[in-house]
């Protein structure tokens, strides 16, 4: 849900349900990397509520578009991290098999 005004689309607060610090802090980081962002931050209204409010203030671009771009950037970072992890695990397993085979040949 978006909270803001119709007159100034460069300022908005977005309320995300079923989210917590994990997504909010990562999203805040990606938002602050964007040169169009003046201020961004998040808050959790109450510990028992599973909701996070993300505040975005831009240099003039619509806050909604900047948020979408930051979410897309975060998605790309997650995909890159996952593929790097998968390659590293495969490499580790291959090296482990190679060492095991070498050890078996030497005995």
pLDDT tens, position by position, 68-105: 999 999 999 999 999 999 999 999 999 999 988 888 88
Confidence of residue 10 (pLDDT cuts 50, 70, 90): very high
Note whether 13 and 3 are within 8 A (CB).
yes
Coil, strand or helix at 48: coil
Distance CA 27, CA 48 (A): 21
Closest among 65, 50, 47 to 17, alpha carbons compared: 50
Segment 9-29 mean pLDDT: 94
Q: What is the mean pLDDT of the chain?
A: 92
Segment 25-35 mean pLDDT: 97
Confidence of residue 1 (pLDDT cuts 50, 70, 90): low
Closest among 57, 76, 42 to 11, alpha carbons compared: 57
End-to-end, the C-alpha distance of the chain in Å comes to 66
Q: What is the pLDDT of residue 5?
A: 61
Note whether 50 and 32 are within 8 A (CB).
no
């Amino acid at each position: 849900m978006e909270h803001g005004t119709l007159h100034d689309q460069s300022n908005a607060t977005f309320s995300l349900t079923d989210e917590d610090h994990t997504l909010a802090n990562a999203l805040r980081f990606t938002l602050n990397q964007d040169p169009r962002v003046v201020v961004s931050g998040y808050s959790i209204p109450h510990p028992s509520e599973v909701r996070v409010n993300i505040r975005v203030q831009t240099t003039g671009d619509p806050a909604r578009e900047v948020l979408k771009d930051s979410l897309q950037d975060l998605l790309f970072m997650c995909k890159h991290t996952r593929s790097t992890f998968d390659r590293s695990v495969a490499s580790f397993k291959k090296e482990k098999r190679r060492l095991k085979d070498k050890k078996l040949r030497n005995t």
